């Protein structure tokens, strides 16, 4: 049985409804709109009627500020309802379900939320459509039915086994080209040929998962392919730049560097030089790459102690441009996870963003783009919502305005963190060590974030859970912050990686050279995920840690005391191969050397003007 | 000047910034906006390095540098200057140049296969390379994004430099003008034929400025950026409502042109050294003038704040209604039947709670023992275990402190529901009744904790009840977004044991950070509360008067009420984060911060 309740703020307290009405009138210019009523609709299943009734006044509403209805009278209004796309994290419904289980001390009911818009005024059909378009961002939400549900259960088809790409090794260049297009891969034809060579040497065809995974590994997002492109020739039109370039070349020579010239080398050469000259004595270096790390001394109660200071900057430009709230929230969430994976406590953030003029009228918005005003305000709301919830001081917030940012917004999060040096242990994982997954579960919303939502046929056929952008869940990440701040737990961690890009295959895959991952053990948000999705779907608020086998139980108990889910999913192996098992079969089995090659070499000639 | 104040890249971003919590962690040394009016934006973010159990006196300092209009003309120059700008911002905050580290954010158009397009990031990186080599500091990390194109539009070449260092908290100074009649000078590095500062001269300058700050000769410092000296002086004026009189010799070019690498310094009245070139002096009158040219700084402020008001509002109209200042002087205080040498404070942590570290520190610094308890709700078994353990801890504790945060993400659509759901559990409810009734214990809730206490009825009724529509509550701020800043609160009643070290009429500055802090109650109930001395604190303006003005009453609370208590004062709920107060914090906003709440609570049990 599905129970439904409608909750509306009392007159005078309906800030959100009035805000939306003003936006529609002023920004969309729909002057006939008299008023907007905004009603939260909740549906709950797997709950007794009595418990539902209790929840109406204690969870879904608050008698001091809200009015509740079993039915709504829609006469005289244009009415529509909006819900999140299936698979998108809905904090409202999730919290409601958690609250109800706290009251009942029973299992969590299934809760679904939607927002009902009731528009008053003589509106044309086109105007109602314009309003819908304004409030529904199709990458995260959709129009919901106004009817009652018979059930909230989603039926999931049993996912098929991962397919081997028969005949891949025999494909000619034309066939490979077609294959590339068909799968919408981010890699280029040279990379694919390079893959083919590898699988020929392995004497087998790859699986679908392997190709998707390699594509993620070698994407610009994970591997800086642009910055690592070999610069073959440079033409100068400016003396100043030529001098600087020559100085760079001389510095390289003095350091004895023979690796090809590339943007990454120019970006890092000064530090190599300064290090050699002994000018960066406080720099902390390790095999683990989490964030910038510096050794500092910290004074507590008049005593000096050795600490590590970590900082990191990160952009989330593309996601914020298309879904500003979730994009900006996961920008700061992701920035936090880098130093956090270095076992430090992130305590402050700075936000620097770039936008075009947000005061320009909506009518000047480019086709296919959200208005700047909407982007700047919604992104601010998303970033602050995450930062405020996780609890780090955002002490400096600035926005830079330049017309060029209409091409794509700039959303930077920079964070700063620290930990007593003794709390951070860094060791190379050894065969027999255990990999534990912590925090958020895998869903389909994280598929292909790293390679730029490259949808393949097999993925798009699964329509039931198709959200393309991820939502942040700050309370979950805060639990990780608490766990890693506890020296008892942090001192058990040999190495750690976050799930910034590329899901299980990359986050776990980067932890050690040889790994055996059991995908069937990876906790899922819902059923119906196939092996490829389990391997490549990113997820926010999740970490993978390596601990010694004998420490695994203790570590999981500490995670439980922080209200965090933990699961052993992989072991470190002797042979330097990344193996992912699903339903008893190895669906990925690739040598470390090949993965680390970053694909075929790229080349460019540059003109400096 | 008016055009400058309304330039998008100069104008006020206060409405944007104030929705971000800037004070959690009790480590914020400089508020985002300084001066008694909280209007001078800081140039560098300064926080105490965060310790889990103790506060530290080491601070991290972080600043950024980037100007898209220079970088689009020459990525090389722009990137060089981005590094310079980011470091200068650290220096003018009092940090020394030693041990400065950088990290870059690159953001460029899609380079495609075009050599010229590739030339932009390359030139930018060469500029940054030069700056690192010459200044002897390195970018030890960074992130690149090379996809800033949409059809035929490209983002400007972007290389943002972040500079980071650490220093002692005592070294830090803020950038708002401090005192009328103080002399203001400018110090500049030498520039080379390309218009870039000469590194050697810049490094000398860093040492010189640092020494002047250390010796106390400089009381405020600002490094000119996008809007040059004019922007620097204007913003330095706003914080404390000063004016400025430029030296007549200063040219328009010097005022409005770029001065990257320079420092505008306000000298202490006691400084007798000859420093730099005279720029002018701070004045009491609210005007910025040079000779006969004059502009009212209030008009300027209005232009400056109005530019983005329609996008990021912060100055909404509020009621002008007069509000009475409540007065209730306690003659006697509640006292427990049995004294305790070291009281135990129980601090529950729900998913989304985020003030427990700060709360525990505040309690422990006051001499009590803090017990942080994390509620587990992964499974129904976890919930049952949590209820049992919590009830047991409750029976062993003298006080419960429900900390701030966003329990359950303030969802479903309203705060504190997670906490109230837990507290309404029969075993917990009974435990709380016993704590308050039989054992004379104390309870406090700050921010999200206050929201939970009021929704349970613990304030103002002193017990857990089923709320109905006549009960008071806290709801969404009138401005309809999160607010974070410092506010002034006046003690209206010192009847509560939590406030017994205060006097009625005293004013305490306190950080607030919330989206739902608007106190709502019926007239009749408020009358009753006032009579009983249950209205603890009110938001007040600079003159100490309770007000609805958004600059002082951040949420539109009825009669400016900030905190209330139970009838006997043993339970207190307030929005202001009194636990986020510590040595050396909020240096750029003057005020009395220590309300001694936790000391008072400990003394209730011990003395």
pLDDT tens profile B262-319: 999 999 999 999 999 999 999 999 899 999 999 999 999 999 999 999 999 999 999 9
Q: Is A64 on the interface with B (CB under 8 A)?
A: yes
Domain boundary among the residues A88, A119, A144 is at A144
A62-66, A133-137, B444-448: least confident range: A133-137
Arithmetic mean of pLDDT, B148-166:
96
Name the residue with tokens 């950024």: B64
How does pLDDT run across A161-208, given as a tens digit for each residue?
999 999 999 999 999 999 999 988 888 899 999 999 999 999 999 999
Q: Does the pLDDT at position A463 exceed 80? A: no
Residues 42-61 of chain A whose Cβ lies under 8 A from any Cβ of chain B:
42, 57-61
CB contact under 8 A, B17 and A235: no
Q: Are A298 and A271 in the same domain?
A: no
Domain boundary among the residues A422, A451, A469 is at A422
Residues 219-248 of chain A whose Cβ lies under 8 A from any Cβ of chain B:
220, 224, 226-227, 231, 234-235, 240-241, 244-245, 247-248
Q: Are A395 and A521 in the same domain?
A: no
CB contact under 8 A, A391 and B162: no
Looking at the domain assignment, is residue A113 inside a domain? yes
Give the N- to C-terminal CA distance of chain A in Å, as an integer. Answer: 70
Q: Which residues contact A454 (CB under 8 A, 6 or more apart)?
A: A183, A184, A185, A186, A215, A448
Contacts of A252 in chain B (CB under 8 A): none
Superfamily the domain B29-42+174-311 falls into: PurM-like C-terminal domain (3.90.650.10)
How does pLDDT run across B58-105, given as a tens digit for each residue?
999 999 999 999 999 999 999 999 999 999 999 999 999 999 999 999
CA distance A183 to A174: 14
How does pLDDT run across A479-517, given as a tens digit for each residue?
999 999 999 999 999 999 987 667 888 889 889 999 999
| Domain membership of residue A406 as a residue range | 289-422
Of residues A353 and B297, which shows the higher confidence score? A353
Query: How big is the A-B interface in CB pairs under 8 Å?
Result: 444
Q: Looking at the complex, report in whole angstroms how far the Cα of residue A163 sits from the nearest Cα belonging to chain B.
A: 33
Comparing CB atoms, the residue among B66, B125, B467 nearest residue A263 is: B125
The answer to whether the beta carbons of residues A502 and A217 sit under 8 Å apart is: yes
H or E segment and range at residue A81 = strand A78-84
Contacts of B166 in chain A (CB under 8 A): 296, 298, 309
Return the axis-axis angle of helices B297-306 and B228-238, rounded to nearest 10°: 100
Q: Which pLDDT does position A461 carry in this prediction? A: 30
Looking at the domain assignment, is residue A467 inside a domain? yes
Residues 468-487 of chain A whose Cβ lies under 8 A from any Cβ of chain B:
474-476, 478-479, 482, 485
Name the residue with tokens 């299992």: A107
Q: Are A456 and A411 in the same domain?
A: no
Looking at the domain assignment, is residue A51 inside a domain? yes
Segments of chain B assigned to CATH 3.30.1330.10: 44-172
Examine residue B412 and say whether the peptide bond preceding it is cis (omega within 30 degrees of 0).
yes
Q: Looking at the complex, report in whole angstroms how far the Cα of residue B19 sits from the nearest Cα belonging to chain A.
A: 7
How does pLDDT run across A6-24, given as a tens digit for each residue?
999 999 889 889 989 998 9
Contacts of A234 in chain B (CB under 8 A): 122
Residue A452 pLDDT grade (very low, low, confident, very high; cuts 50, 70, 90): very low
Q: Are A239 and A321 in the same domain?
A: no
Contacts of A245 in chain B (CB under 8 A): 126
Contacts of A62 in chain B (CB under 8 A): 414, 417, 455, 467, 473
Q: Is A67 on the interface with B (CB under 8 A)?
A: no
| Structure token pair of residue A278 | 């002994």
CB contact under 8 A, A282 and B99: yes
Residue A459 pLDDT grade (very low, low, confident, very high; cuts 50, 70, 90): very low
CA distance A230 to A225: 10
Looking at the domain assignment, is residue A365 inside a domain? yes
Looking at the domain assignment, is residue A155 inside a domain? no
Closest chain B residue to A352 measured between Cα atoms? B64
Q: Which of B22, B23, B27 is nearest to B48 (CA)?
A: B27
Q: Is B584 on the interface with A (CB under 8 A)?
A: no
Residue A440 pLDDT grade (very low, low, confident, very high; cuts 50, 70, 90): confident
Q: Which pLDDT does position A500 carry in this prediction? A: 66
CB contact under 8 A, B383 and A279: no
Domain boundary among the residues A85, A115, A144 is at A144
Closest chain B residue to A608 measured between Cα atoms? B119
CA distance B406 to A329: 15
Contacts of B23 in chain A (CB under 8 A): 393
Looking at the domain assignment, is residue A122 inside a domain? yes
CA distance A68 to A60: 9
Looking at the domain assignment, is residue A195 inside a domain? yes
Residue B142 pLDDT grade (very low, low, confident, very high; cuts 50, 70, 90): confident
Q: Which pLDDT does position A455 carry in this prediction? A: 31
Q: Looking at the complex, report in whole angstroms how far the Cα of residue B340 sits from the nearest Cα belonging to chain A.
A: 27
Closest chain A residue to B481 measured between Cα atoms? A381
The mean of the pLDDT values for chain B is 96
For residue A164, the SS3 value is: strand
Output Rg (C-alpha) for chain A, integer angstroms. Answer: 26
**What DSSP string runs through B134-148?**
HHT--EEEEEEE---
Q: Which pLDDT does position A498 carry in this prediction? A: 87
Q: Which pLDDT does position A466 carry in this prediction? A: 45
Query: What's the total number of domains in chain A?
Result: 3
Name the residue with tokens 């003030």: B355
CB contact under 8 A, A292 and B28: no
Contacts of B478 in chain A (CB under 8 A): 15
Comparing CB atoms, the residue among B106, B405, B412 nearest residue A391 is: B405
Q: Is B405 on the interface with A (CB under 8 A)?
A: yes
Q: Is B298 on the interface with A (CB under 8 A)?
A: no
The number of beta carbons lying within 10 Å of the beta carbon of residue A479 is 23
Residue A470 pLDDT grade (very low, low, confident, very high; cuts 50, 70, 90): confident
Q: Which pLDDT does position A460 carry in this prediction? A: 35
Name the residue with tokens 């030498």: B190
Q: Which pLDDT does position A458 carry in this prediction? A: 32
Q: Which pLDDT does position A140 carry in this prediction? A: 83
CA distance A256 to A273: 11
Q: Are A450 and A585 in the same domain?
A: yes
| Structure token pair of residue A86 | 């299936």
CA distance A512 to A429: 6
The answer to whether the beta carbons of residues A179 and A192 sit under 8 Å apart is: yes
Q: Is A361 on the interface with B (CB under 8 A)?
A: no
pTM over 0.90: yes
The yes/no answer to whether this complex scores an ipTM above 0.90 is yes
For residue A254, the SS3 value is: helix
In this structure, what CATH number is given to the domain that contains residue A548?
Answer: 3.90.650.10
Segments of chain B assigned to CATH 3.40.50.880: 344-606
| Structure token pair of residue A277 | 């000259």
H or E segment and range at residue A191 = helix A189-201
Residue A285 pLDDT grade (very low, low, confident, very high; cuts 50, 70, 90): confident
Q: Which pLDDT does position A465 carry in this prediction? A: 41
CA distance B263 to B161: 19
| Structure token pair of residue A550 | 């004998």
Backbone angles phi, psi at B150, to 5 degrees: -140, 115
Q: Which residues contact A73 (CB under 8 A, 6 or more apart)?
A: none
Arithmetic mean of pLDDT, B474-490:
96
Q: Does the pLDDT at position A445 exceed 80? A: no
Which of B28, B49, B95 is most worth mutating to test chain A (most A CB atoms within 10 A of its CB)?
B49
Residue A504 has, within 13 A of its CA and on its CB side, a CA count of: 39
Q: Does the pLDDT at position A462 exceed 70? A: no
CA distance A424 to A428: 13
Q: Does the pLDDT at position B545 exceed 60? A: yes
Q: Which residues contact A457 (CB under 8 A, 6 or more apart)?
A: A182
| Structure token pair of residue A198 | 């590898």
Q: Are A393 and A432 in the same domain?
A: no
Q: Which of A437, A449, A498, A476 is nearest to A310 (CA)?
A: A498
CB contact under 8 A, B467 and A565: no
Q: Which of B144, B26, B40, B48 is nearest to B403 (CA)?
A: B26
Q: What stretches of B108-217 adopt beta strand conformation (E)?
A: 139-145, 149-150, 153-154, 158-168, 183-187
Q: Are A51 and A79 in the same domain?
A: yes
Superfamily the domain B44-172 falls into: PurM-like, N-terminal domain (3.30.1330.10)
A131-140, A351-360, B359-368: least confident range: A131-140
| CATH T-level topology, domain B344-606 | Rossmann fold (3.40.50)
The number of beta carbons lying within 10 Å of the beta carbon of residue A31 is 11
Q: Which residues contact B571 (CB under 8 A, 6 or more apart)?
A: B436, B442, B443, B444, B445, B453, B458, B459, B462, B565
The answer to whether the beta carbons of residues B187 and B263 sit under 8 Å apart is: yes
Q: Which residues contact A283 (CB under 8 A, 6 or more apart)?
A: A271, A275, A293, A294, A295, B101, B138, B140
The answer to whether the beta carbons of residues B308 and B15 sit under 8 Å apart is: yes
Looking at the domain assignment, is residue A149 inside a domain? no
Residue A456 pLDDT grade (very low, low, confident, very high; cuts 50, 70, 90): very low
Q: Which pLDDT does position A222 carry in this prediction? A: 66
The answer to whether the beta carbons of residues A440 and A541 sit under 8 Å apart is: yes
Q: Which of A541, A548, A438, A553 is nearest to A491 (CA)?
A: A548
């Amino acid at each position: 049985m599905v129970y439904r309740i409608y909750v509306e703020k009392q007159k005078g307290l309906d800030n959100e409804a009035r805000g939306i009405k003003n936006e529609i009138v002023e920004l969309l210019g729909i002057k006939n709109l008299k008023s907007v009523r905004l009603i939260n609709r909740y549906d709950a299943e797997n709950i007794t009627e009595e418990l539902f009734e209790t929840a109406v006044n204690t969870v879904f509403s608050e008698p001091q500020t809200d009015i509740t209805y079993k039915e709504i009278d829609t006469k005289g209004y244009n009415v529509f309802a909006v819900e999140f796309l299936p698979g998108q994290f809905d904090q409202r419904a999730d919290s409601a379900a958690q609250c109800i289980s706290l009251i009942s001390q029973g299992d969590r009911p299934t809760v679904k939320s939607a927002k009902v818009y009731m528009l008053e005024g003589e509106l044309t059909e086109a105007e109602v459509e314009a309003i819908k378009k304004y409030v529904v961002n199709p990458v995260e939400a959709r129009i919901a039915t106004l009817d009652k549900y018979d059930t909230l259960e989603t039926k999931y088809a049993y996912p098929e086994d991962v397919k081997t790409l028969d005949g891949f090794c025999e494909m000619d260049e034309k066939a490979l080209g077609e294959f590339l297009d068909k799968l919408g891969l981010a890699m280029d034809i040279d990379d694919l040929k390079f893959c083919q060579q590898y699988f020929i040497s392995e004497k087998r065809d790859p699986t679908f998962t392997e190709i998707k995974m390699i594509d993620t590994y070698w994407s610009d997002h994970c591997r800086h392919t642009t910055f690592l492109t070999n610069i073959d020739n440079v033409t100068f039109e400016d003396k100043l730049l030529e001098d600087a370039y020559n100085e760079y070349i001389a510095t390289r020579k003095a350091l004895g560097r023979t690796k090809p010239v590339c943007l990454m080398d120019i970006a890092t050469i000064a530090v190599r030089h300064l290090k050699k000259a002994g000018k960066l004595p406080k720099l902390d270096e390790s095999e683990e790459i989490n964030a910038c790390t510096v050794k500092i001394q910290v004074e507590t109660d008049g005593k000096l102690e050795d600490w590590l200071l970590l900082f990191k900057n990160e952009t989330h430009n593309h996601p914020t441009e298309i879904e500003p709230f979730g994009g900006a929230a996961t920008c700061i969430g992701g920035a936090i996870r880098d130093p956090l994976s270095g076992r430090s406590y992130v305590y402050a953030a700075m936000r620097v963003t770039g936008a075009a003029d947000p005061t320009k009228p909506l009518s000047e918005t480019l086709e296919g783009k959200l208005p700047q005003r909407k982007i700047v305000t919604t992104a601010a709301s998303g970033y602050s919502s995450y930062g405020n919830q996780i609890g780090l001081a955002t002490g400096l917030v600035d926005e830079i305005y330049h017309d060029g940012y209409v091409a794509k917004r700039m959303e930077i999060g920079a964070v700063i963190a620290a930990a007593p040096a003794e709390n951070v242990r860094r060791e190379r994982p050894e065969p027999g060590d255990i990999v534990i997954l912590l925090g958020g579960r895998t869903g389909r919303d994280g598929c292909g974030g790293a390679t730029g939502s490259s949808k393949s046929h097999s993925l798009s056929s699964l329509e039931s859970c198709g959200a393309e952008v991820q939502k942040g869940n700050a309370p979950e990440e805060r639990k990780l912050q608490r766990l890693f701040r506890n020296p008892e737990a942090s001192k058990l961690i040999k190495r750690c990686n976050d799930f910034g890009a590329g899901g299980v295959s990359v986050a776990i895959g980067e932890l050690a050279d040889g790994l055996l991952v059991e995908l069937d053990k990876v906790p899922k948000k819902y059923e119906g995920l196939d092996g490829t999705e389990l391997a490549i779907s990113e997820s926010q608020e999740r970490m993978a840690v390596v601990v010694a086998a004998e420490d695994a139980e203790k570590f999981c108990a500490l995670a439980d005391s922080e209200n965090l889910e933990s699961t052993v999913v992989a072991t470190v192996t002797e042979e330097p191969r990344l193996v992912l098992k699903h339903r008893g079969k190895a669906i990925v089995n690739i040598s470390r050397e090949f993965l680390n090659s970053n694909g075929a070499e790229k080349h460019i000639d540059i003109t400096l003007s | 000047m008016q055009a400058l104040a309304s330039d998008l890249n100069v104008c006020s971003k206060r409405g944007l910034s104030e929705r971000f919590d800037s004070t959690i962690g009790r480590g914020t040394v400089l508020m985002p906006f300084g001066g008694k009016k909280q209007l001078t934006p800081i140039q560098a973010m300064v926080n105490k390095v965060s310790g889990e159990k103790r506060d530290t006196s080491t601070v991290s300092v972080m600043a950024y540098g980037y100007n898209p209009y220079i970088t689009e003309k020459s990525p090389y120059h722009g990137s060089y200057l981005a590094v310079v700008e980011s470091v200068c911002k650290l220096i003018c905050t009092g940090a020394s140049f030693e041990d400065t580290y950088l990290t870059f954010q690159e953001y460029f158009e899609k380079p495609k296969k075009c050599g010229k397009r590739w030339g932009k990031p390359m030139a930018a990186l060469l500029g940054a390379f030069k700056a690192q080599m010459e200044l002897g500091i390195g970018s030890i990390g960074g992130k690149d994004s090379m996809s800033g194109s949409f059809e035929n539009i490209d983002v400007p070449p972007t290389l943002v430099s972040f500079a980071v260092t650490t220093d002692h908290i005592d070294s830090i100074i803020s950038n708002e003008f401090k005192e009328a009649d103080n002399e203001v000078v400018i110090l500049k590095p030498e520039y080379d034929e390309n218009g870039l500062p000469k590194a050697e001269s810049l490094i000398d300058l860093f040492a010189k400025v640092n020494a002047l700050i250390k010796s106390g000769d400089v009381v405020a410092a600002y490094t000119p950026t996008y809007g040059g000296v004019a922007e620097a002086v204007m913003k330095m004026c706003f914080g404390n409502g000063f004016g400025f009189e430029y030296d007549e010799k200063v040219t328009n070019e010097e005022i409005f042109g770029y001065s990257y690498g320079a420092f505008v310094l306000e000298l202490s009245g006691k400084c007798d050294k000859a420093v730099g070139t005279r720029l002018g002096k701070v004045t009491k009158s609210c005007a910025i003038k040079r000779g006969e040219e004059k502009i009212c700084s209030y008009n300027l402020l209005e232009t400056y704040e109005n530019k983005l008001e329609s996008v990021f509002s912060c100055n909404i109209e509020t009621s002008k209604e007069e509000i009475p200042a409540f007065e209730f002087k306690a003659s006697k205080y509640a006292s427990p039947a049995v004294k305790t040498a070291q009281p135990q404070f129980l601090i529950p942590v729900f998913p989304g709670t985020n003030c427990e570290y700060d709360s525990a520190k505040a309690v422990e610094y006051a001499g009590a023992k803090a017990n942080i308890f994390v509620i587990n709700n992964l499974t129904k078994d976890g919930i049952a275990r949590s209820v049992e353990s919590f009830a047991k801890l409750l029976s062993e504790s003298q006080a419960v402190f429900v900390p701030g945060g966003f329990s359950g993400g303030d969802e479903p659509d309203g705060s504190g529901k997670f906490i109230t759901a837990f507290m309404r559990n029969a075993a917990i409810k009974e435990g709380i009744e016993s704590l308050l009734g039989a054992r004379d214990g104390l309870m406090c809730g700050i921010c999200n904790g206050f929201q939970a206490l009021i929704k349970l009825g613990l304030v103002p009724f002193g017990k857990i009840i089923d709320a109905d529509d006549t009960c008071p509550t806290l709801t969404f701020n009138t401005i309809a977004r999160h607010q974070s800043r410092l506010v002034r609160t006046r003690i209206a009643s010192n009847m509560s044991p939590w406030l017994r070290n205060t006097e009625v009429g005293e004013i305490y500055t306190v950080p607030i950070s919330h989206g739902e802090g608007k106190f709502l109650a019926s007239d009749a109930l408020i009358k009753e509360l006032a009579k009983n001395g249950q209205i603890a604190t009110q938001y007040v303006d600079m003159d100490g008067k309770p007000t609805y003005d958004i600059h002082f009453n951040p949420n539109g609370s009825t009669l400016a009420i900030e905190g209330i208590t139970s009838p006997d004062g043993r339970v207190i709920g307030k929005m202001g984060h009194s636990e986020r107060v510590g040595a050396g914090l909020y240096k750029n906003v003057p005020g009395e911060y220590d309300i001694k709440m936790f000391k008072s609570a400990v003394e209730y049990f011990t003395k």
